[in-house]
Chains A and B, each alone.
Chain A
């Protein structure tokens, strides 16, 4: 009991976020258990339960990551930010040329000793958010300046996004928007943000053109077909099956483990896991999952209001935006508001290494929260004072 009590005592930071994390883990276990069986059935191979057990193990490791990371002082993150970004960019370039290819995309590098493959974009994601949080907070005085504040921010954003884009356009887009939001919240002028937005659009256009002419440059083909399907209202078979799943679920769902549609969706444990949740737990379950993410964002916004220091607040907010944005994007795909993107539902989908990075993000958020709990502003004595 002492260990549990010890852990309990050491669980610092926003209790709500801890609870949200726990619920997400629980939802993940249930949903993956229900939907991954079909994958194992299809694949034969290592026997039923292997992937599910691996996933459960990752959740446990994820929990440990959160626990360890949340105890680190967030100044530590500030300190490593620039180096971390440089390493991440280096790895991205490495991946681009020497990465492991899966499903036509080169996103992974294989870690030699532990035999674990790692999606470098996940790493870069955290790195760029760290870097932005640090730079925005340190340059708050001159934040409205173009040359001294905006450009140093813009360059790494574009660099990282462009490096990610060829293999994983969706993630790059999510990251790009995350960065934009961080800039926006970090008081960058709207004018510049519009400018960077335009730059992004142009970059996308160039990227698509390049993909059109240079064979194998990117997965533009995949993207274009998804997009045109969506515009034409065709919807892939997965979209159809996902909607059937949601409709079958009704209000209360058909019960855990009873999903039928998991048999017909290509990756029921990844892209379309939300549809399976809708099928098994109904609109109620769907609402619950959605609320978990929005609540997470709400709590992180609260951190922002309480934090005395801009870095921590922006860091937590940025990481949170990244998680929630990806979650909403995934949900939007499941209900067919946007074309299929291949994005996982953070913390819920079966996602291998990215699960650990999401856990890392949670850990950092909680680390910030821990310090805010300790030193932050409280409602009672909320004062309008600027940060240092």
Chain B
């Protein structure tokens, strides 16, 4: 074999070996591309692509006027990744001091710059990936943090790590907070947030994201992504101002009397809209919205329940308000117990009207004994209770409303805890004046509301409508239908009873010459069964409506276990009620009509501040608001109020430059404003309005100093 041929043949052997290797390699490529493909593709997807839930924005909760009661806002946990691979050592060390200063200035004012810097350096040395800067930072705070040295380098170079969270914000803080409720991961959900959760929460979306290294993900197009559907907004019936007044008044009373808890509910008579639902319970330091007592707490209503007994009597026996009832010596032995009136009355026989007005327990017990104790009496009694809707839940949208604890003998047998509690001698007389039965404040209010609403029961509710982007998509008021619970005659009598309580009975301190109220006081012993109790405990309540004719609002106030000063419903609950009524009258133009019908100046002992000078526009606004007519001769910025026989006149007070103005009659603020604008220096003595000025008006300004006397 020639040399050349040998070389060539050996070279070809090499070539073929290489070609063979190439074939093997390509074969492997083909194998991965065909046989193994499914496995590797799936493996790749599982490593790099994942499904991510896109949280839907939760809807807002609004008050009746559109004020925001609850909304979701983003919060961030801010950290620094001190081991970010893109963070250059140079930039860390160059910026660590500046960063420490910024953090000291904004985040940790109590921590020294040196300490912060040391911590940062330590974190950098130890390659801490989650150096915490701030939890729950707002968007604005984050924007500021972004401008700090080092962090402003952005992205991985700056190492800023933000973890976005969504948090529920209640702009009015504690106002009606228990009713608005909560729905978060940390505590049990409650309130409207829970009951309307489905509407509020919207539908979470889904998207596919792909890892692009590290822990960075980007959404992928082209895969089935489901858009998140934003939650709808809930407009409630709550009125922020009324709620505020209710809470405030309730809180005052609870504090004053050191009570355990209290609730105040205001409801619109015709519609059942709950305008205010205040719940305050004793906490460690003060009173808070701890539980929704108004909706969730059963209590023995005591005297306030007498209305139901009376109405049952009217329905059943058509008794009259003038019918007489004997209350004997003021107490009545019933089995082993004694029913007493809380005060001794100067009479032994009285009318039903008066017996109710003075809240005679004996009268109720006697009447009930007479009509409902024997034979089918109890059955009829419970039939009326059912008819008055006192044996069912109101269905108000706060989860956790209990059934009224108002059971007949037969029903009690069905509960282990109630078995054998029925007494054929004692149960009916005691139930008649509100013991041996428990209702929630809301349930009792709904009953009184029906009386106010001429016998038509409307279920109380907190939701007004469901909105999406400001458009109403569901009207929640359609759900409630008015149901007549008693005959017109009965209702008329019931209304007369309630009016009498305020006019001549236990609710007399609610009398006002400007408005009329109807209602019933209640003072319930709560620890009567505990014979060894050293202190008698009471629940004080008042429930009623106003105005007495054509009622607009019904309201209940319950204060549990007041420990100081008093315990009567008339002394404790009625003042809260009154404050609420006052507020409603003061702000509601419909209710004010009663006032407006009277001649204004005569009716109100008005003291118009005449001969006072003020800013014309302001004065006109005030007079306009008060509905008083004013006349003015010609326009000027400042005016003097003059009164003649019928009207007020706004006399112009002209202020000219270069001339000392007349500031007598002005408030100090106005006077100083005018004078200093003219370049004068003002000195004063006294307080009140300007009664004298050291330089006479109309003179040219020569001296820069002016002395004002106030008085």
Q: Which residues of A contact B (CB under 8 A)?
A: 38, 41-45, 140, 181, 184-187, 240-241, 243-251, 260-261, 263-264, 278, 282-283, 286-287, 290, 293-294, 297-298, 301, 304-305, 310, 313, 317, 321, 324-325, 328, 331-332, 335-337, 384-387
Contacts and interface: CB of A to CB of B under 8 A. Distances in A.
A41 B24 CA distance: 35
A319 B157 CA distance: 44
> 9 nearest interchain CB pairs?
A247-B40, A244-B44, A44-B86, A335-B28, A263-B213, A246-B32, A247-B37, A386-B3, A331-B25
Nearest to A303: B11
Nearest to B84: A44
A298 B43 CA distance: 38
Nearest to B220: A260
Contacts of A335: 25, 28-29, 32
A263 B4 CA distance: 51
A288 to B, nearest CB: 11
Nearest to A41: B213
A184 B18 CA distance: 14
A42 B213 CA distance: 9
A263 B212 CA distance: 6
A317 B11 contact: yes
Interface string B20-47: 0110111011101100110111011001
B2 interface: yes
A305 B8 contact: yes
A144 B215 CA distance: 63
A374 B586 CA distance: 114
B693 to A, nearest CB: 73
Contacts of A310: 7
Contact of A294 (B3, B12, B22): B22
A187 B6 CA distance: 7
B25 A321 contact: no
A378 B366 CA distance: 137
B21 A332 contact: yes
Contacts of A301: 11-12, 14-15
Contact of B88 (A44, A240, A328): A44
Contacts of A140: 3
Nearest to A325: B18
Given A187-B6, A244-B43, A386-B3, 6 more contacts: A247-B40, A248-B44, A260-B44, A263-B213, A290-B22, A328-B18
Interface string B206-241: 000011110000000000000000000000000000
A264 B88 contact: no
Interface of B: 2-8, 10-12, 14-15, 18-19, 21-22, 24-26, 28-30, 32-33, 36-37, 39-41, 43-44, 47-48, 85-86, 88, 156-157, 210-213
B44 A247 contact: yes
A251 B26 CA distance: 12
Contacts of A386: 2-4
Contacts of A43: 85-86
Contacts of B40: 243-244, 246-248
A249 B30 CA distance: 11
Contacts of A185: 7, 10-11, 14
Contacts of B21: 328, 332
A304 B33 contact: no
A187 B9 CA distance: 10
A283 B213 contact: no
A283 B211 contact: no
A183 to B, nearest CB: 10
Contact of B14 (A264, A321, A384): A321
Contacts of B12: 301
15 contacts: A181-B14, A185-B7, A185-B14, A246-B40, A247-B41, A247-B44, A260-B48, A290-B26, A294-B18, A294-B22, A301-B12, A305-B8, A310-B7, A331-B22, A335-B29
Q: Which of A247, A248, A328 has the most CB of B within 10 A?
A: A247
B213 A287 contact: no
A316 to B, nearest CB: 11
A243 B36 CA distance: 9
Q: Which of B5, B32, B39, B44 has the most CB of A within 10 A?
A: B32
Nearest to A293: B22
Contacts of B211: 263-264
Contact of B26 (A250, A261, A286): A286
Contacts of B210: 260
A298 B26 CA distance: 17
Given A332-B25, A386-B4, A248 B10 contact: no
B621 to A, nearest CB: 62
A167 B7 CA distance: 34
A287 B547 CA distance: 93
Given A44-B86, A185-B10, A384-B5, A247 B213 contact: no
A249 B24 CA distance: 19
A180 to B, nearest CB: 10
Given A332-B21, A335-B25, A298 B7 contact: no
A313 B7 CA distance: 10
Nearest to A140: B3
Contacts of A261: 44
B11 A244 contact: no
B33 A251 contact: yes
Contacts of A331: 22, 25
Contacts of B43: 240, 244
Nearest to B4: A386
A258 to B, nearest CB: 12
A290 to B, nearest CB: 5
B208 to A, nearest CB: 13
Q: Which of B5, B10, B19, B157 has the most CB of A within 10 A?
A: B10
Contacts of B18: 294, 297, 324-325, 328
Contacts of A244: 40-41, 43-44, 47
Contact of B22 (A44, A248, A304, A328): A328
A231 B24 CA distance: 19
A246 B29 contact: yes
B68 to A, nearest CB: 43
Contact of B47 (A44, A264, A287): A264
A337 B85 contact: no
Contacts of B86: 42-44
A290 B33 CA distance: 16
B29 A283 contact: yes
A328 B24 CA distance: 10
A19 B201 CA distance: 64
Contacts of B11: 185, 301, 304-305, 317
Contacts of A38: 213
A214 to B, nearest CB: 31
A140 to B, nearest CB: 6
Nearest to B157: A44
A324 B18 CA distance: 8
Contacts of A328: 18, 21-22, 25
B221 to A, nearest CB: 13
Contacts of B2: 384, 386
A168 B36 CA distance: 33
Contact of B156 (A44, A247, A298, A332): A44
Given A243-B36, A247-B37, A184 B47 contact: no
A34 to B, nearest CB: 14
Contact of A186 (B7, B15, B19, B30): B7
B11 to A, nearest CB: 5
A185 B9 CA distance: 8
A206 B21 CA distance: 29
B290 to A, nearest CB: 53
Contacts of B29: 246, 278, 283, 286-287, 335
Given A44-B156, A250-B33, A336-B28, A298 B15 contact: yes
A264 B25 contact: no
A333 B212 CA distance: 24
B23 to A, nearest CB: 9
Contacts of B3: 140, 187, 386-387
